[in-house]
Structures are given as C-alpha cells and as structure tokens.
Chain A
Amino acid sequence: MSRALKNNVYNTLIWTAAVLSIAILVFLIATLIWKGMGAISVGFLTSASENFGSEGGILYQIIGSLALTLCAAVCSFPIALGVAIYKSEYVKSKVFQNITDTIIYSLNGIPSIIFGIFGLIFFVNILQTGVSWFVGGIILAMMILPTIILASHQAIRSIPNSYRENAQALGLTQWQVIRAVIFPRGINGAFTGLLLGLARAIGETAPIMFIATAFSGVTVPRTFLEPVSSLPTHILALAQQATNPQALQNAWGSSLVLVSLVFIFSISALVRRIQYSKINY
C-alpha cells in the first residue's frame, strides 16, 4: 500500500472514531435533556414523592442529596487543607512524601462500593449509628479527600520559594508564614478541588445506598442520625421498576436534575481552574 493511501486510511479511521465518540456523547446529553424535560415541572421539583416514587416529585430527594454533599464538604475541607499544607511545608523526607502519596492515591483508587461496605461495618454495625445521613456525609468526605488534597497541594506548590523566604526574613514564625502566604493560595486550590469532589460525591450511589438513605417516607432530617432519601438512590429504585412508564419518566426527571447539579459543581470548578491558571508569580 502506498504511503499516501495509508495516510488516507488512517485519516478516515481517526475521523470515524472522533465522529462516533462525539456522537455517543452528544446522544447521551441529548437523551437526558429530551427525556428529562418531559418530566420536570415546578410541581415535580417542589412536591414529595408518592406511590414508591412513580408519582409525585423529588423535593426531599434534592434536599437529602444537598445535605449529604454539604456534610461531605464541611468534613473534608479542613482536613484536606491540613494534609496539603503538611505535605508541602513540613515534610522534608522523601520517604514520608512517597508514603503519603501512596496513601492518597490508594484512597483515590478505592472502588465506591467498598466505601459503602466499610461504612456499613464500621459506622452502622460497630459504632451502632444506624442508617443516617451524617454517616453518609462522612463516607463521601473520605471519598473526596484525595481530590481536594491534590488540588490544594498543586496550588501551594506553585508558590515560589522566594515568597516563603521573604516572609521568614521578616521574622515570621513558620505558622505565620503559612497563614499569610500559603493559606490564601492553598484555600483557592482546595476550593476548586472541593467543587470537583462534590461533583463526584453528589452522584455517587454505591457508598450511600446501605448506610445513609431510605427509599420512602423520609422528609427533612431533624437530627444527625436519621436517614434521608437522595437523588441517585431514588433513580436506582425507579430504574428497577423500569416497566412502569410513569416511574421511568420520574427517573429521567430526577436524572436531569442530578446531572444539572453535577454540572453546576464541575463547571464552576472548570471556570475557577481556568481563572487561576492565569496567575503568574
């Protein structure tokens, strides 16, 4: 085969693959929007679900999902920031650096269902907390820790050493250096990471389905130790009654709401990343 012909064959192959992948991805979004719009109305968003979710709306599912995410954010943010600062400012030995890296990557790699089983054993059975949204939030917080740590660590690492040296030369203690120089940048990075993490946390089903959620009869939680219902577990329950068209329609509606929430988080993360990547020291 001549080289020119080969070149054309390759070109066609690449174009076909690209068109196919983009078509698949566009199809996904189009389906979600098309099917979801048919189900969403003001009433759907502001009423409780009835008849095992096949009728009524998803108000409490939205509230439950937001409560879980908020709890995850509050629990994980300070810890992740601390780890990132420790890693970049205090750790000198290469070995410990590698150990923490390995730990963070392992935590990142643990499959989501394993978090669910861990939560079920540790919190629900050993600590006897029962099924509760607070436990779900903690588990989600563990899951998104690595994302926040890595984002914040990256931001801190981009601060040039001369900044630290200048601050030290002014006579600041190490903690004052951290507060004045490292914190502002680190928090920005951590916040971007948090948004990315939350985009993942809000859509997770497997970690919370055993430990945090109940399917029906749940409203706004009044204590820490009550179950909530959430969008992903609601979709799961509805998907299992897929033969009922009404249930399926509600599932599409819930999916569109869920994807919109995910995109709100990830688009803000994306915008922040583009903004902050322009900072030059």
Chain B
Amino acid sequence: MLVFQNKIGKGYVLASTYLCIAVTLLIFLILFWNSYPALSTVGFDLFTMTWNPAKDQFGVLSMLFGTLAVTAIALLIAVPLGILTAIFTSEILPNRYRLYVKSAIELLAGIPSIIYGLIGIALVSPWIATLFELSSGRTLVTAGILLAVMILPTIITLTDDALHNIPQQYRETSKGLGLYPFEIIQKTLVPIAKRNIAGAVLLALGRALGETMAVMLLVGSIDKIPEPFYNLLSPGQTITSKLGREVGESAFGSLHFSALNAIGFLLLLLVITLTIGTQVYMRKGIRTV
C-alpha cells in the first residue's frame, strides 16, 4: 500500500512537471507552425514597409520601428528616474519607512495595464495634444510615457533590493575613508550592484516590449514610420498593438493570420532571449558575502 502511494505520489509530481514543460514547448511549436506559411511565402519581404493583407503584402518594418521607439522612450524616462528613486528608498529613506514605501510601490507594480491605457486615453493624450498642438494625442511619445510609468515600479523595487542587499560594512568602510555620501553611492555601492541593476533594467525592457493593452490604446495604430523618423510626436504602430488590433479580425488559416503569427513569434523570440539571458547573467552575479 505504502509503495503504491509512493508511486502515485511520484507519478503526480512527475506528470505536473512534464505537463508544464509540454505547455511551454507547445506554445512555441504552435506559434512557429502557424507562422511558417507566411515565413515561407513572404520570406524576406517581411522586412519592408507596406502592410496590406488584401494584396498579400506584409511588411513589418514600421511595427519594429514603433516597438523600438516606444520602448526606447519608456526606458529613457524610467531608468534614470527609477534608479535615482531606488537610491533614495535604499540609502536616504530611514529604514522604518522603507518597508511601507516599498510595499506601496510593489502594489503599484500590480496595476493592470488596461488601466494605464484608460488613464492615457482619458488624461494624458489630451494633455499631449494641447501641449504640442496636435490634432490627436495618440502618439509614440504618449505610449512611451505611459509605458515608462508602468515599468517604473519594477525598476525601483529591483534596484532598491540590489542596493539594500549590499552589506553595511561597505558603507561604513567608505565613510571611514572620508567619502561623501554621493561618493559612497557612486564609487562603492553602484559598482557592486551594477549587475543586478542591469538585470532590473533588462527585466523592465522585457516587460515593455511585450506590453499590449496600454500601448494598443495609445500609440495611434497607423502602420508607418513618422516623417522624418525622429518626429516621435506622431502616431505609429508596435508589434503588440498590431496583434491586439488585427488578430481578432483575421481568419484562421489565412496568410494574414499567419503573418500576424510570424510577428508574434518574432516578439516571442526577442522577449524570451532577453529573459533567459537576464536569468543567466544574474545567476552568474550572485555574490556570497
């Protein structure tokens, strides 16, 4: 009886593990299998400008540009702001408040992206429209700003952890050498936590690339690269917004659907490489003090 139970137990945990592995592989396989028709017929014409399903033209350059532009804007705002704020919560804020502030920030990290989309559409995009005298406030910049706010809590909490995990001795020794507080941060703490801070930024980058709802509502959803390309106050399209807008409308099995799958697969590979790379990078950097 006991042996039997032992076997059932082992069977259960083993089955769960294989199910989990199978699900992950299945997602990759299904996406690849469905993007195959587009990859084989359209091929390198994917890297052109026009997207016109009626004529079987599927160029993804404008979406790639949109994704990169929006993500870059988001990181440009969120990284400096997030790291400086994390320095504040870890090094300046007294310890007894730190737990509360950190908990609050962690809670904010959980606000669903659709709500950022709503705030963007109801408040931020009208502001952008009046501020820059545009006809519509749905631009690459608007999406980037909202995305920055979305990834800000992630960057703050992870960077704060990285800094706070550095043993107190380092600060005391640096102080003993007569360094100013900013020099302690700049010369001692940041170099030690560098790897983990980079990890935080990469993780945030992964989230930003894959984010759909807020971006879809705010980016304007027009398949073109602005003229000139640095005029980011104009509408664009990202990979995720394209998927969100069109997957529901395209027929299963059509070339159009397959092409959407292909850009989804592209995004998947990009994000997964980034995630796994970050994990490997972080694992190497674990210090034992």
Chain A interface residues (CB < 8 Å from chain B)? 3-4, 6-7, 10-11, 13-18, 20-22, 24-25, 28-29, 31-32, 35, 78-83, 85-87, 89-90, 99-118, 120-122, 125, 142, 145, 149, 173-176, 178-179, 199-200, 202-206, 209-210, 232, 235-236, 238-240, 242, 248, 251-252, 255, 258-259, 262-263, 266-267, 270
Contact = CB atoms under 8 A, between A and B. Distances in A.
A3 B186 CA distance: 13
Contacts of A11: 181-182
Nearest to A20: B81
A175 B27 CA distance: 32
Interface stretch (B54-62, B117-125, B164-172): B117-125
6 contacts: A4-B180, A17-B81, A20-B81, A106-B275, A109-B271, A235-B115
A79 B264 contact: no
A102 B24 CA distance: 10
Contact of A103 (B6, B21, B152): B21
Contacts of A263: 107, 110
B115 A258 contact: yes
B17 A82 contact: yes
Given A28-B149, A86-B13, A104-B20, A7 B182 contact: yes
Nearest to B78: A21
Contacts, number: 257
A99 B27 CA distance: 17
B88 A15 contact: yes
A18 B110 contact: no
Nearest to B178: A3
A236 B213 contact: yes
B208 to A, nearest CB: 10
A14 B114 CA distance: 30
A111 B240 contact: yes
B244 A111 contact: no
A130 to B, nearest CB: 13
Contacts of A179: 9
* Interface SS, B side: helix
A242 to B, nearest CB: 5
B40 to A, nearest CB: 18
A170 B2 CA distance: 14
Given A113-B240, A118-B31, A210-B247, A266 B180 contact: no
B110 A266 contact: yes
Nearest to B261: A117
A79 B276 contact: no
A5 B248 CA distance: 58
A111 B115 CA distance: 18
Contacts of A89: 13
Contacts of A111: 209-212, 240, 267-268, 271
A251 B118 contact: yes
Given A125-B252, A236-B114, A110 B153 contact: no
Contacts of B8: 175
B108 A29 contact: yes
B113 to A, nearest CB: 7
Contacts of A239: 114, 117-118, 121-122, 217
